[in-house]
Amino acid sequence: MAPASPLLVLLGDGDDLDRVEAALRASVETDDADLTDIASHLIRAGGKRLRPACTVVAARTAGVPTSDDVVLGGVAVELVHLGSLYHDDVMDEADTRRGIESVNHRWGNLTAILAGDFLLARASEIAASLGTEIAALLARTIGKLCEGEVAQLRRAFDSNRTETEYFRSIEGKTASLFSAACRIGGLVGGLPRPTVEALTEWGLAYGMAFQVFDDVLDLTATEAELGKPAGHDLVEGVYTLPVIRTLAEGGAAADELGDLLGRPISGAELDKALALVRSGDGVHSAVDTARDYADRARAAAGQLEPSPARTAMASAADALLDSLV
């Protein structure tokens, strides 16, 4: 599995992440004890808080202490992420999330959907308090998340899914939020526009590398490493880059894999599909693509002024991928 991100290592030297955590918990406090309990369910379960870390590190490229507004910007981003997880678990009919019972499994789908909506509303409220540009950016990003998910759903169990469709989907459902997290950090931190654009570019490239990395892990890591069964995407009919490229290779392995896909699989069929993908060049090719995005992230970081934050950003995507070699 991936080592700790240089972004988190950098922030581990101070109290910025603790401030984010405290503000995140406070953001879902309501007069309704039950709603507070449901909305904070996944917050209490923990998490790396990588997206708000991006917001804080982006602002710290200015070399000044982290302001309360920057912390709130990171909280808004994390609330969007959490809200999307509530909705994802409904769509996937998931029983667990982060090692605990999922909201939908414990309280039902309707409650999970409404709680997810509440988290998105809280994120929007915080964004509005930071200014109209931040509010518009977050709203636009939520729209992109939806577009990415719809694009993925549209191609569920479709073995003819193209690379173009895959990249468009992951840019919307994953990379757009990382990009927004960095842009919010730059804007709220009062950084010059060229710096904000470089941070935005870094977030997009990092987010793309992050999702390709995650998709490779789903196919290559063990259940013990993942904390969940391997091949979840195949079970859900989500054919990611390694699968797309394995099918494109042609030959006997591609034909066998093609015969298995296009419908729900489990058990021996899932094991066979995983073995076929692992035996070809699709996984290695996907890792190469993730490294291309890591190169783009490093180049974007190179546009920033020298600082510990820039150093962490320059190495973050490469550190993410080191565990795949």
- 14-47 burial code (b ≥16 CB/10 A, e <16): eebbebbbebbeebbeeeeeebeebbbbbbeeeb
Task: Give helix 308-321 / helix 193-220 axis angle, nearest 10°.
Answer: 20
Q: What is the pLDDT of residue 277?
A: 97
How many CA atoms lie within 13 Å of 33's alpha carbon, on the beta-carbon side?
0
Angle, CA of 298, 325 and 230, to the nearest 5°: 110
CATH of 16-324, one of 3.30.420.40, 3.40.190.10, 1.10.600.10, 3.90.79.10: 1.10.600.10
Q: What is the pLDDT of residue 228?
A: 67
Q: What is the largest CA-CA distance in the chain?
A: 61
* Other C-beta atoms lying within 10 Å of the C-beta of residue 275: 12
Q: What is the pLDDT of residue 122?
A: 98
What tokens were used for 211? 């999702």
Question: Phi, psi at residue 81, to the nearest 5°?
Answer: -60, -45
Q: For residues 216 and 282, give the distance between their C-alpha atoms in angstroms, rounded to a whole number.
A: 10
Q: What is the pLDDT of residue 230?
A: 84
Contact present, 317 and 297 (Cβ < 8 Å): yes
Q: Which residues of the chain have pLDDT under 50?
A: none
Q: For residues 9 and 29, give the distance between their C-alpha atoms in angstroms, rounded to a whole number.
A: 29
Helix/strand/coil for 274: helix
Helix/strand/coil for 100: strand
Q: Which sequence spans correspond to the domains of the chain? A: 16-324
* Other C-beta atoms lying within 10 Å of the C-beta of residue 63: 11
Contact present, 281 and 245 (Cβ < 8 Å): yes
Tell me the whole-structure pTM to 2 decimals.
Answer: 0.95
Place of tokens 């090719």: 285
Residue 222: Cβ-neighbour burial (10 angstroms; 0-12, 13-18, 19+): exposed
Q: What is the pLDDT of residue 208?
A: 98
pLDDT in tens, 98-111: 888 999 999 999 99
Distances (CA, A) of 286 to 34, 172, 180, 231, 248: 44, 19, 25, 16, 13
Q: What is the pLDDT of residue 198?
A: 98
